[in-house]
């Protein structure tokens, strides 16, 4: 009732200022409680694109439920090759000074706590609790995206970590509406898999909440480093209906996990297995997904089954010398893995629900990091696990969204017989809100606050918080939590 | 655990404080949108769209959708003066956003001067307007588009007092033949369409540079040679409707009182020959005839009283 009453108060211009004051007060409180900060992993997200808003004059909210997450109009715009189809999409129609670029970064304050950590002074169970906090920076996106010509689109996304070390998050050219059909669009380069629940565009930023556990989880001892949340290199054939309610995607991808120079040069920060090799094979992975939307009185409901099948090498050619250096793209002894699941985007009025389920299996050789020319020992078998999450957004209005997510990973079958049955199981919880004090067609600003906590059994938390060492036993539950507050801006 | 509870308490407290102070920002939605009629509804494909609270599960859905998608161009008053309107330069071919308060719409199935039907507005939102910044909103659900139509109608008092016009009757399209095309060409010449659209339909007629809309803003005639679709559709049926109803608010009049329905179809067939970038069946037929009858085509603008 109080909130309803407050909502009714009119002409409350002071409230914008007071909101900033509250945010500032929050920061001051955080400062007063701050302790020395430690180096933390970078956040790597892609952005909303004010460049498009500037080009077409639409507010952020036209394409985003809350930026950077795309709504179904935004998804249709992306499916059309970032074109509105108004015969003015080609850059020749733009003012010569127009540059389709956007920059996004999130100065923030965050606090991390990780239990059961081993350090140089605490080397035995149960370990110690590590606390870290301080002001920090996210990584930065500098994203160029748009059309090269009518029906030829592109994306180039150089991204840095907070220390300004660059890599290409994505880079591709897309040929749209081939043969005049929206069912034939060809993308070539390095890009995100076509998940309707995009991790690159989601609304969580903290260390523990800022990733889908299921998109990156690998069982303990597994040499595979694939995650469906990782951008991949290859070619994608995509098609869609005029309203993008019906879509398909088929992609052929190098088995390099998105690495360049034919290596796994993407360091896969979320892998908790033993050291990741930089060698790769010459095989290809395959992605297939299908999306169908249904109109209901409460909004559009979409569902997307997906399937990914790939291989990773287990035998590596290396140079002569000490130490031997793997030779890129010469791996053999390829062993398969797959991910299959279903994801949905459901609307119940102002509620958006994002359920996700995935069943995963890695070959026994991958699961045990064993060369294919070595016999399996007793108990070694394929690693099988299931996972899922339910994410909920409540859009109070286009400028205020409340967030929550509950996520699970459960091992069904351990590949490595030395693992306990529960090793690798994860529970993750996140809540937060994003407030966009401004919402127009030139730039974006959001005040982001989030709390996340995960329980990972016997493994390093995927956030890499803490000492980044395995806990004392493979049944130790490691709790890792984050508090995050920051200004997320894009121009 | 104690530390975690402390942080949770802090988080909760800051959230409550934030809600208590920041939410009036959300009230911009209600406070700034100025609708004339808050009870406006629309009916499209058996669905009832509402601009404001329906007392059900979808409160204020039309106004919320308008805030999300439309306000940047059409503005909170619906008068076409959103924050982006200043960047649209009609002299460069980018018309200003539609002023909903005038309830004057170009694309209608109804006679000139009348209000469009809900279906007309639905088709316009669904289709978008070529060569403008108004995109196709086909990705929105039918109900959402119906809600937006109700919101569009809520900005003008005309909808309270007037009913939408009765859609014109469009007779079946006769079979395409060269006689129809040649007669359509004569009509194009006789009715002086070329004065605005040019002899080749490139929008470069002698009057083209002088044309303005009802707001006094420059408005270029349609260029048949490069356009992939018309402002109000892409089919022959749409083209027929365009010049039999006129585009209200623009210099394009209704020709309903000047030509008969069968003549209108002849004109449609000729106008299709001007779409050289599409190589339409009409153009193919016309080119074949021209090849077989060299020099027989009379130049336009020569008839008495039609000289440029």
A2 within some domain: no
In-domain check, residue A169: yes
Each residue's pLDDT tens digit, A59-110: 888 899 998 999 999 999 999 999 988 777 888 877 777 888 889 999 999 9
Structural domain range at position A370: 10-490
Q: Give the separation between CA A481 and CA A465, rounded to whole angstroms.
A: 9
Q: What is the pLDDT of residues B104-117, one digit of tens each?
A: 999 999 999 999 99
> Are residues B40 and B156 both part of a single domain?
yes
Cβ–Cβ gap A57/B73 under 8 Å: yes
B143 contacts A295? CB cut-off 8 A: yes
Span A226-242, average pLDDT: 95
- A136 pLDDT above the threshold of 90: yes
Minimal CA separation from A320 to chain B, in Å = 52
Q: Is residue A4 part of a domain?
A: no
Nearest CB to B228 within list A56, A73, A87: A87
Which among A12, A86, A483 has CB closest to B133? A86
- Residue A249's contacts (CB-CB under 8 Å, 6 or more residues apart) are A194, A236, A237, A238, A287, A288, A289, A290
In a domain, A5, yes or no: no
Both tokens of residue B26? Answer: 């959300």
Q: Token digits for A466? A: 């803490």
What CATH number does the domain containing B266 carry? 1.10.760.10
Partners of A399 on chain B (C-beta within 8 Å) are 25-26, 28
- Of B108, B130, B161, which residue is a domain's last? B161
What integer pLDDT is reported at residue A286 of this predicted model? 98
Looking at residue A344, what is its pLDDT? 97
Which stretches within A33-181 are classed as H helix? 50-56, 60-63, 72-79
DSSP annotation string for A3-30: HHHHHH--S-THHHHHHHHHHHHHHHHH
> B36 and B157: one domain?
yes
B141, closest residue in chain A (CA to CA): A295
152-171 in chain A: CB under 8 A from chain B: none
Select from B161, B193, B210 the last residue of a domain: B161
Position B297 in a domain:
no
Of A58, A87, A244, the CB nearest to B139: A244
Q: What is the mean pLDDT of residues A16-23?
A: 45
CB contact burial A357-375 (16+ within 10 A = b; e otherwise): bbebbbbbbbbbbbeeeee
Q: Which residues of B are less than 8 Å from A397 in CB distance?
A: 26, 29, 64, 67
C-alpha torsion A175→A179→A183→A184, nearest 10: -40
Encode B97-161 in three state secondary structure: CCCHHHCCCCCCCCCCCCECCHHHHHHHHHHCCCCCCCCCCCCCCHHHHHHHHHHHHCCCCHHHH
Residues 282-341 of A with CB under 8 A from B: 295-300
Q: Mind telling me how many Å the CA of A61 is from chain B's nearest CA?
A: 5
Chain A segment 452-491 residues within 8 A of B by beta carbon are 453, 481, 483
pLDDT, position A22:
47
| Domains held by chain B: number | 2
**Contact A292/A246 with Cβ under 8 angstroms?**
yes
Give contacts of B 184-203 with A, CB under 8 A. none
- Computed over every residue of chain A, the mean pLDDT equals 86
**Residues in A 229-248 with any Cβ partner in B closer than 8 A:** 242-245
Contacts with B69 from chain A: Cβ below 8 Å: 58-59, 61-62, 73
Which of B8, B24, B68 is closest, CB to CB, to A12?
B24
Give the model's pLDDT for residue B304.
60
| Residue bearing tokens 């043969």 | A179
In tens, the pLDDT along A452-466 reads: 999 999 999 999 999
User: Of the candidates A230, A198, A160, which has an alpha carbon nearest to the alpha carbon of residue A356?
Assistant: A198
Query: Is the model's pLDDT at A367 over the cut of 70?
Result: yes
**Contact list, A84 vs chain B (CB under 8 Å):** 128, 133, 135-136
- Of residues A50 and A196, more confidence is placed in A196
In a domain, A104, yes or no: yes
Q: Which residue has the higher pLDDT, A341 or A277?
A: A341
With tokens 């690159």, the residue in question is A200
Same domain, B199 and B124: no
Per-residue pLDDT, averaged over A349-354, amounts to: 92
pLDDT exceeds 60 at position A330: yes
Q: Residue A194: pLDDT above 80?
A: yes
Report how far apart, in Å, the C-alpha atoms of A23 and of each of A6, A278, B14 are: 18, 44, 8
Judge: B128–A397 Cβ closer than 8 Å, yes or no.
Answer: no
Given CB atoms, is A29 within the 8 Å cutoff of chain B? yes
Between these two residues, A307 and A24, which has the higher pLDDT value?
A307
State the residue range of the domain holding B120: 30-161
Assess if residue B298 is contained within a domain. Answer: no
Same domain, B146 and B189: no
Contacts of A55 in chain B (CB under 8 A): none
Q: Is residue A386 part of a domain?
A: yes
Instruction: Judge contact between A225 and A238, C-beta under 8 A.
Output: no
Highest mean predicted confidence (pLDDT) among A251-265, A273-287, A349-363: A349-363
Shortest Cα–Cα distance, B246 to chain A (Å): 22
pTM comes to 0.85
Joined tokens for residue A204: 């969580």
Residues of chain B with C-beta less than 8 angstroms from the C-beta of A72:
139-140
- Distance CA(B164)–CA(A140), nearest Å, equals 53
Q: What is the CATH number of the domain that holds A128?
A: 2.40.160.10
Asked if A7's CB is within 8 angstroms of B7's CB, the reply is no
Task: Give domain status of residue A431, yes or no.
Answer: yes
- B39 and B75 belong to one structural domain: yes
Predicted-assembly ipTM surpassing the 0.85 threshold: no
Asked if B15 reaches chain A (Cβ–Cβ under 8 Å), the answer is yes
Judgement on whether residues B133 and B230 belong to the same structural domain of the protein:
no
What's the rounded Cα separation, in Å, for the pair B76 and A392?
30
With CB atoms and an 8 Å threshold, state whether A451 touches B137: no
φ, ψ of residue B265 to 5 degrees: the values are -65, -35
Q: How many domains does chain A have?
A: 1
Contacts of residue A228, Cβ cutoff 8 Å, sequence gap at least 6: A193, A195, A215, A306, A308, A339, A358
Are A394 and A402 a contacting pair, CB within 8 Å? yes
Is residue A3 assigned to a domain? Answer: no
pLDDT digits (tens, 9 = 90+) for B225-264: 987 788 899 899 999 999 899 999 999 999 999 899 899 9
Please check whether residues B189 and B156 belong to one and the same domain.
no
> Has residue B256 been placed in a domain?
yes
Kindly state whether A85 is in contact with chain B, defined as any CB-CB distance less than 8 angstroms: yes
Q: B38 or A296: whose pLDDT is higher?
A: A296
A-contacting residues in B 39-58 (Cβ below 8 Å): 57-58
Q: What is the pLDDT of residues B131-158, one digit of tens each?
A: 888 999 999 999 999 999 999 999 999 9
pLDDT confidence of B5, banded at 50, 70, 90? Answer: low
Q: Is B137 on the interface with A (CB under 8 A)?
A: yes
> Which of A2-6, A251-255, A483-487 has the lowest average pLDDT?
A2-6
Judge if B157 and B182 occupy the same domain: no
Nearest CA in chain A to B2: A113
Whether residue A113 and residue B4 make contact (CB cut-off 8 A), yes or no, is yes
Beta strands (DSSP E) in A180-298 are 185-191, 232-240, 246-254, 284-296
């Amino acid at each position: 009732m109080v909130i309803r009453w407050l909502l009714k108060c009119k002409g409350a211009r002071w409230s914008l200022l007071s909101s900033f004051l509250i945010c500032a007060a929050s920061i001051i409180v955080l400062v007063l409680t701050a302790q020395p900060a430690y180096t933390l992993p970078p956040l790597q997200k892609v952005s909303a694109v004010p460049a498009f808003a500037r080009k077409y004059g639409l507010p952020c909210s036209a394409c985003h439920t809350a930026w950077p997450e795309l709504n179904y109009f935004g998804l249709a715009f992306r499916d059309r090759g970032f074109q509105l189809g108004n015969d003015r999409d080609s850059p020749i129609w733009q003012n010569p000074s127009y540059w389709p670029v956007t920059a996004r970064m999130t100065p923030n304050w965050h606090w991390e706590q990780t239990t059961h950590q081993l350090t140089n002074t605490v080397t035995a169970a149960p370990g110690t609790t590590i606390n870290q906090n301080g002001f920090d920076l996210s990584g930065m996106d500098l994203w160029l995206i748009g059309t090269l010509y009518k029906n030829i689109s592109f994306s180039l996304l150089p991204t840095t970590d907070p220390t300004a070390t660059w890599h290409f998050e994505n880079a591709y050219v897309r040929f749209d509406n081939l043969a005049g059909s929206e069912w034939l669009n060809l993308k070539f380069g390095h890009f995100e898999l076509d998940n309707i629940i995009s991790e690159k565009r989601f609304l969580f930023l903290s260390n523990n909440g800022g990733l889908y556990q299921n998109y990156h989880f690998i069982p303990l001892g597994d040499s595979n480093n694939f995650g469906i949340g990782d951008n991949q290199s290859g070619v994608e054939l995509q098609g869609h209906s005029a309203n993008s309610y019906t879509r398909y995607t088929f992609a052929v991808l190098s088995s390099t996990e998105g690495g360049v120079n034919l290596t796994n040069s993407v360091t896969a920060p979320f892998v908790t297995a033993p050291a990741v090799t930089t060698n790769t094979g010459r095989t290809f992975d395959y992605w297939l997904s299908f999306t169908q939307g249904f109109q209901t009185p409460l909004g559009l409901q979409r569902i997307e089954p997906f399937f990914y099948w790939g291989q990773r090498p287990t035998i590596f050619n290396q140079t002569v010398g000490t130490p031997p250096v793997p030779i890129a793209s010469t791996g053999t002894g390829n062993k398969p893995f797959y991910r299959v699941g279903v994801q949905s985007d459901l609307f119940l009025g102002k509620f958006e629900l994002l359920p996700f389920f995935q069943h995963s299996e890695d070959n026994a050789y991958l699961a045990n990091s064993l060369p294919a020319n070595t016999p399996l020992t007793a108990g070694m078998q394929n690693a099988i696990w299931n996972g899922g999450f339910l994410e909920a957004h409540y859009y109070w209005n286009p400028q205020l969204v409340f967030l929550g997510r509950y996520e699970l990973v459960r091992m069904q079958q351990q590949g490595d017989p030395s693992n306990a049955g529960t090793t690798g199981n994860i529970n993750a919880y996140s809540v937060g809100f994003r407030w966009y004090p401004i919402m127009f067609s030139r730039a974006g600003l959001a005040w982001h606050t989030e709390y996340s906590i995960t329980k990972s059994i016997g493994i390093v938390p995927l956030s890499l918080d803490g000492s980044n060492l395995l806990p004392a036993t493979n049944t130790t539950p490691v709790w890792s939590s984050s508090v995050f507050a920051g200004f997320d801006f894009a121009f | 655990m104690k530390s975690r509870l402390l942080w949770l308490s802090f988080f909760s407290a800051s959230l409550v404080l934030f809600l208590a102070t920041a939410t009036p920002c959300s009230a911009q939605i209600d406070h700034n949108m100025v609708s004339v009629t808050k009870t406006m509804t629309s009916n499209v494909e058996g669905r009832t769209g509402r601009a404001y609270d329906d007392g059900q599960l979808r409160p204020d859905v039309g106004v919320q959708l308008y805030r999300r998608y439309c306000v940047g161009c059409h503005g909170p008053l619906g008068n076409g003066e959103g924050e982006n309107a200043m960047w649209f330069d009609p002299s460069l071919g980018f018309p200003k956003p539609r002023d909903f308060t005038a309830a004057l719409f170009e694309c209608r199935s109804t006679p000139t001067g009348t209000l469009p039907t809900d279906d007309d507005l639905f088709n316009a939102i669904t289709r978008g307007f070529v060569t403008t910044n108004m995109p196709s909103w086909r990705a929105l659900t039918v109900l959402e588009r119906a809600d937006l139509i109700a919101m569009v109608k809520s900005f003008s008092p005309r909808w309270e007092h007037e009913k939408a016009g009765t859609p014109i009757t469009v007779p079946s399209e006769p079979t395409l033949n060269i006689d129809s095309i040649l007669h359509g060409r004569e009509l194009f010449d006789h009715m002086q369409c070329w004065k605005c659209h040019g002899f080749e339909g490139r929008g470069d007629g002698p009057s083209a540079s002088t044309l303005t809309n009802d707001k006094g803003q420059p408005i270029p005639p349609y260029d048949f040679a490069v356009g992939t679709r018309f402002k109000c559709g892409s089919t022959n049926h749409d083209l027929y409707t365009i010049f039999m109803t006129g585009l209200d608010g623009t210099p394009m009049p209704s020709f309903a009182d000047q030509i008969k329905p069968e003549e209108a179809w002849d004109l449609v067939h000729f106008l299709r020959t001007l779409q050289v970038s599409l190589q339409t069946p009409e153009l193919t037929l016309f080119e074949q005839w021209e090849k077989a009858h060299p020099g027989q085509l009379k130049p336009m603008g020569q008839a008495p009283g039609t000289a440029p």
